[in-house]
Amino acid sequence: MKKIMGILAMAVLSVGLVACGGSSDSAEPTTVTFSGSSSVNILMEDMEPAFEEANETIDLKVSASGSSDGIKAAQEGTVDFGMSSRDLKAEEKSGVNEETIALDGIAVVVNPNNPVQDLTLEQIASIYRGEITNWNEVGGEDLPISVVARESASGTRGAFEEILGIKDEMTTSATEFNGTGGVKSEIAQNPNAIGYISLGGLDDTVKSVSVDGAEATVEAIQAGEYAIARPFILIYQEDTLTDSAKTFLDWALSTEGQEIVAEAGFISVN
């Protein structure tokens, strides 16, 4: 009888420990939400599995909709973090904090069969203004240039236009795409096309041209040689940032997080 009572007492004690959170298995998972730049999303695709493996009770939910949308979502508090691949404008800074988690170059890309290897910043600007319209004007073949751009809300486009000094001067003949994948697909199948994508999105489907003699590489950006570069920023409201969101931010800036930045082809801020 005493033995039976002892077993029952142990069972009650175990139930009580679980109910009071005494077991590590009882922790409820929390979600940290992100919205914004599709370029930052490329980095997040590498960060997400590594972070969730190290922090099993925190799930990351990431959606890409453009930097402007991400900044707005952070301002409105509908996500924990807005993602931007351009510097915030003065009017966008009110009520939010920002943290740069990586740097990125914007690669100017052409079809792999295009013989052009190097362009100057001014030549690129002239192409996107519609002033240079044939590849033979920049050392290529006698073929019309097909200009490819990102959509107006894109942080990549905003940074590209700002660096080149072509804000509101984009040629009306440009074909616009809503993401890096669309730009790459068009460049890969169109031998006359020129576009721009995040450095981390480069692969052998497109060819990156050097700019003023500098290749689009991490080393050239760190040395200040490659001019078309921008930050990857997380925007948030400090007063409402959850513990789980703070955990991610600290991790992203840690040695482990910054190693993933480098492995993904971007540039560490450390």
* pLDDT tens digits for range 211-244: 999 999 988 988 889 999 989 999 999 999 999 9
pLDDT at 17: 40
Q: What angle do CA 131, 133, 118 make, to 5 degrees?
A: 95
Under CATH, which number does the domain 30-103+231-263 receive?
A: 3.40.190.10
> For 2-11, 100-109, 142-151, 171-180, which range has the lowest pLDDT when averaged over its residues?
2-11
Better-predicted residue by pLDDT, 19 or 179:
179
Pairing mode of beta strands 229-236, 175-177: unpaired
Instruction: Indicate if 105-229 has the same CATH topology as 30-103+231-263.
Output: yes
Q: What angle do CA 265, 153, 147 make, to 5 degrees?
A: 75
Q: How many CA atoms lie within 13 A of 76 on its CB side?
A: 10
pLDDT exceeds cutoff 80 at 21: no
Domain ranges of the chain: 30-103+231-263, 105-229
For 105-229, which CATH superfamily applies? Periplasmic binding protein-like II (3.40.190.10)
